[in-house]
Chain A
Amino acid sequence: MSVTKPLPHDSGPLHVTGQARYVDDIPTPANCLHLAFGTSSIARGTVTAMDLDPVRTAPGVVAVLTADDLPFANDVSPSIHDEPLLSVGTVHYVGQPIFVVAATSHHAARRAAAKARITYAEEAPILTVDQAVAAGQYFDDGPRVWQKGDTDAALAAAPHRLRGRLEMGGQEHFYLESHASMVAPQEGGDVVVYSSTQHPTEIQHKVAEALGVPMNAVRVEARRMGGGFGGKESQGNALACACAVIAVKTGRPVKMRYDRDDDMTITGKRHDFRIDYDVGFDDTGRIKGIDFQQYTRGGWALDLTIPVADRAMLHADNAYLLDHARITSHRLRTNTQSATAYRGFGGPQGIFGIERVMDHIAHTLGLDPIAVRQVNYYHNMGPVRAGKVSGNTTPYGMEVRDFILDEMTEKLLADANYADRKAAIADWNAKNPILKRGIGFSPVKFGISFTLTHLNQAGALVHVYQDGSIHLNHGGTEMGQGLFQKVAQVAASRFGVDVSLVKITATDTGKVPNTSATAASSGSDLNGMAAKAACDTIRDRMANCLAELHQCPVERVRFEDGKVRVGDNEMTFEQAAATCYQNRVSLSATGFYKTPDLSWDRAKGQGRPFFYFSHGAALTEVVIDTLTGENRILRTDIIHDVGRSLNPALDKGQVEGAFVQGAGWLTTEELVWDDKGRLRTHAPSTYKIPACSDRPEVFNVELWDGENPEATIYRSKAVGEPPFNLGMSAFFALSDAAAACGPNYPMLDAPATAERVLQAVKRARG
């Protein structure tokens, strides 16, 4: 069976030879126009005058459009229609598109756009959390509060109490391929859109609105992205809509790709958060009550801020059973890029809050930070351990039935030799005045499913041709994660054939409609099941036909090893397909799947928003230079739960990449806006992404040997987002190293740049 095999990425041979096509590599049709946006240079105000004549007369320019020139909807928002494609006179952040230029080349369009003369009536921008709170700039009608138990009473009664604040920065996706779209006009006003998107249906929907046509007039195709990470869930809408409007207006094909600095300046990023905590605990570190205040800057438009902030609340417990908890979420409107989806979707921010609390409690009590975590863990899915008496439900009332972090933690600590290394580090630190080592641990329990319940559905379309070759299509998109290969392995397994017989085809809204974004780590869970359903439909039809022809019970038709066995007869899959075709069997089917057992009342913050949880744990050792704050990761050990892996090689790759990206978020990746609201880190020369030399010198990644107790596709689990959180172990290792310098808790904030580490060392020393 091809599932569980560590097969390489299906596009590997194309990538290593340069043949894989991204949107910008599709041969450009003759006559193609290229677009560039003219953008706001101020963060907040009104356009008082706009002279676009120098743009219109620039070489190669064919058209210049402002909001007034848009024929139908001027909106690219994925949520509440608050995000005009082109400014309607007010501007809300530096980089907001105001007009769009169509020219004969990419460079000509960019050069022309720079020639606009725009004057503004400037207003003081709202940039910080404090400014937004003071100005009452809330999305979602003010703070949202979810709670469990009686937090105030529990805090008052607790033997120990601690308050603190954690600041964490946002994160630029830096998918290597910047956003791109191409639109080819068709007869009758229809369009075909090629987009680098995680959400073809959303592109179809927004393009249809922009053109004033029904969705059936728009077909969106997406073969692959050069990385997505959530950044291509909603942020591609603007490019696709702009291309579509101009394609229809001019009758010419139109292409747009952002240069890197445009991409970084215009598009949204991970939400940054401030988390204030007030926690009561006993002598063992067991939390008795906790109050979280989560503040996040959502930027100028809503985009996906509500579900992101919700997920931060839903992960405020991470792996810990909280009897009394209150989580308050402040979703703030600021004059910055509209923050958007990014791997983890608020989950990491919520988790980071309570992981800091665990660390802080341990330091206060002089206990091992891992022991404090273990004493707070949810009950195991096995026998309930002593001392845990209050049920096993999350702050949002969901029973945790599949918790496995006890054993995972114990195995990790044993495999990574924690106790000895901790002692060795203490010894080493006692002897070394300048360099200090630290070790950090972080577990993750991550909820799998879209919290907007209706998104948990998927479709697939499968054809078997008369020569036995298989055409596979589903609603998921490929951004490098290996989804296409995993789903192809599922399809091959259902037919009992080699995966090479399965042709993986570009995501296409004309083949599978009404898809959800490939997001929330759900790609293989949803699309794997949908593809299985489609394959099984065809397989059952084939089996019935063959059983009848060979006069044997249908139960005795088996698809395995590239053969079809019908009773005592055996034929190749190709022969079986040809036979079925000749006997007029439909060899094409759709498949559909919706995640079972979900119920979620968002207003109350109660229910079962997740189908299951994924788990993981990481242990990281670092060294810091206390003179400069320089640091490096010496070793990371990870054990991660992907259920019964569909493809261990792809899953391990996801875990490794997610860890490095998560560690980057909390260490080197720093977004800086100046007091005018201009993003100062809008290029890889100023925004530090982990490089090859930044990865751990020793890096052990192991997949937990288990299976999903829920009936997912072949009992596998989602993998995209959960391991991102394991990067936190690197952060807490840095904090531990700083703590080795003195008696105080270092109160390290993220990203822990060298200068911040140096300041943390000073705070530790006092």
Chain B
Amino acid sequence: MATIKMTVNGRERSGEAEGRTLLVDFLRQELNLTGTHVGCDTSQCGACVVHVNGEAVKACTMFAAEAEGAEVVTVEGMANPDGSLSVIQQAFQDHHGLQCGFCTPGMIMSAAALLKDNPKPTEAEVRHYLEGNICRCTGYHNIVKAIMAASGQDVSAVAAE
């Protein structure tokens, strides 16, 4: 066991971790940030996506020790400073971009990473970017719509004729 320190959602946090402790377990168990979910354990499903030093990564496939000193942002840190929903969060709510909600935190984090690099993605770019995030409920239609809406684009024509 070693003490690991990192900045999580803007706050200095520390906790105990073994070498083999995964970042997702550290966040969930040491820091009680249970919004980051474990869906598959094998870096396929994307339910555990968080940002480390500004980049989207799968927290189930990174050791906590490797995030020592890093800036980590989880879904709990995505709301506006006043607590209101961010544009992306509000878009998922408004456009029904969720059903069971288990994939939603990872989707939000991936969407935020996409829009940071590509503020006005095409629909095809959104689909391509989300290939590491599985949703079993929605069929993705409303997720794509939500992200397009969050980027300030008209969604009335998303995937429709």
Binding site for B on A (CB under 8 A): 8-9, 11-22, 24-25, 27, 107, 173-178, 224-229, 259-261, 479-482, 635, 649-650, 652-654, 656-661, 683-685, 689-693, 695-701
Contacts and interface: CB of A to CB of B under 8 A. Distances in A.
Contact of B141 (A8, A15, A107, A699): A699
Contacts of B98: 9, 12, 15-16, 480
A22 B141 CA distance: 24
Nearest to A695: B140
A237 to B, nearest CB: 21
A480 B134 contact: no
B85 interface: yes
Contacts of A692: 126-127, 130-131, 133, 135, 140, 143-144
Given A12-B92, A25-B34, A684-B40, A689 B134 contact: yes
Contact of A689 (B32, B37, B79, B136): B136
B108 A226 contact: no
B44 A685 contact: yes
Nearest to A27: B32
Contacts of B89: 16-17
Interface in B85-143: 85, 88-90, 92-94, 96, 98-105, 108, 126-128, 130-131, 133-143
Nearest to B141: A656
B45 A17 contact: no
B161 to A, nearest CB: 5
23 contacts: A8-B93, A16-B75, A16-B88, A18-B36, A18-B76, A19-B35, A176-B102, A176-B135, A227-B99, A227-B136, A261-B42, A480-B102, A683-B42, A684-B42, A684-B45, A685-B42, A691-B140, A692-B126, A692-B127, A693-B127, A697-B159, A699-B139, A701-B141
Given A176-B39, A261-B41, A699-B159, A15 B142 contact: no
A177 B37 contact: yes
Contacts of A21: 34
B33 interface: yes
Contacts of A14: 101
Contacts of A695: 127, 139-141, 159
Nearest to A663: B139
A480 B99 contact: yes
A176 B160 contact: no
A658 B138 CA distance: 8
Given A15-B92, A226-B37, 8 more contacts: A9-B99, A24-B34, A25-B34, A176-B135, A177-B37, A177-B39, A482-B99, A684-B44
A343 to B, nearest CB: 11
A23 to B, nearest CB: 11
B85 A17 contact: yes
A164 to B, nearest CB: 31
Contacts of B75: 16-18
Given A176-B103, A683-B42, A693-B128, A17 B140 contact: no
Given A697-B159, A698-B159, A227 B143 contact: no
Contact of B100 (A225, A259, A698): A225
Interface of B: 25, 28, 32-42, 44-45, 47, 74-76, 78-79, 85, 88-90, 92-94, 96, 98-105, 108, 126-128, 130-131, 133-144, 159-161
A698 B159 CA distance: 4
A656 B160 CA distance: 13
Contact of A226 (B76, B78, B100): B100
A22 B161 contact: no
Given A684-B44, A697-B159, A176 B134 contact: yes
Given A175-B136, A225-B100, A656 B142 contact: yes
Contacts of B34: 18, 21, 24-25
Contacts of A261: 41-42
Kindly name the residue among A15, A177, A650 whose own CB sees the greatest number of chain B CB atoms within 10 A. A15
B101 A657 contact: no
Given A226-B101, A635-B161, A657 B39 contact: no
Contacts of A175: 100, 102, 136
Q: Is the interface of A mostly helix, strand, loop or mixed?
A: loop
A20 B127 contact: no
B101 A20 contact: yes
Nearest to B18: A107
A261 B44 CA distance: 12
Nearest to B36: A18
B128 A176 contact: no
Kindly name the residue among B33, B41, B96, B101 whose own CB sees the greatest number of chain A CB atoms within 10 A. B101
Kindly name the residue among A22, A224, A684 whose own CB sees the greatest number of chain B CB atoms within 10 A. A684
Contacts of B45: 176, 684
Contacts of A691: 130-131, 134, 140
B99 A684 contact: no
Nearest to A481: B99
Kindly name the residue among A13, A657, A692 whose own CB sees the greatest number of chain B CB atoms within 10 A. A692
Contacts of A12: 92-93, 98, 101
A618 to B, nearest CB: 13
A663 to B, nearest CB: 9
Kindly name the residue among A19, A177, A479, A696 whose own CB sees the greatest number of chain B CB atoms within 10 A. A177
A226 B98 CA distance: 11
Contact of B136 (A8, A22, A229): A229
Kindly name the residue among B35, B40, B143 whose own CB sees the greatest number of chain A CB atoms within 10 A. B40
B130 A22 contact: no
A480 B140 CA distance: 14
Contacts of B141: 656, 695, 699, 701
B25 to A, nearest CB: 8
Contact of B40 (A8, A18, A260, A650): A260
A698 B161 contact: yes
A555 to B, nearest CB: 39
A19 to B, nearest CB: 7
Contacts of B126: 692
Contact of B85 (A13, A650, A658): A13
Contacts of B32: 27
Contacts of A480: 98-102, 137
A692 to B, nearest CB: 4
A27 B74 CA distance: 18
A229 to B, nearest CB: 7
B32 to A, nearest CB: 7
B120 to A, nearest CB: 18
B35 A9 contact: no
B131 A176 contact: no
A174 B134 CA distance: 10
Contact of A650 (B96, B128, B131): B96
A500 B33 CA distance: 27
Contacts of B40: 260, 683-684
Contacts of B38: 24
Contact of B102 (A22, A653, A661, A689): A22
Nearest to A227: B100
A227 B105 CA distance: 15
Kindly name the residue among B74, B78, B127, B159 whose own CB sees the greatest number of chain A CB atoms within 10 A. B159
A15 B136 contact: no
Contacts of B99: 9, 227, 480-482, 653-654, 657
Contacts of B144: 692
Contacts of B139: 656-661, 690, 695, 699
A178 B93 CA distance: 24
B35 A700 contact: no
Contact of B96 (A9, A635, A690): A9
B41 A224 contact: no
A16 B134 CA distance: 16
Contacts of B160: 698-700
Given A656-B142, A692-B143, A174 B85 contact: no
A224 B136 contact: no
Nearest to A174: B136
Contact of A177 (B90, B92, B102, B105): B102
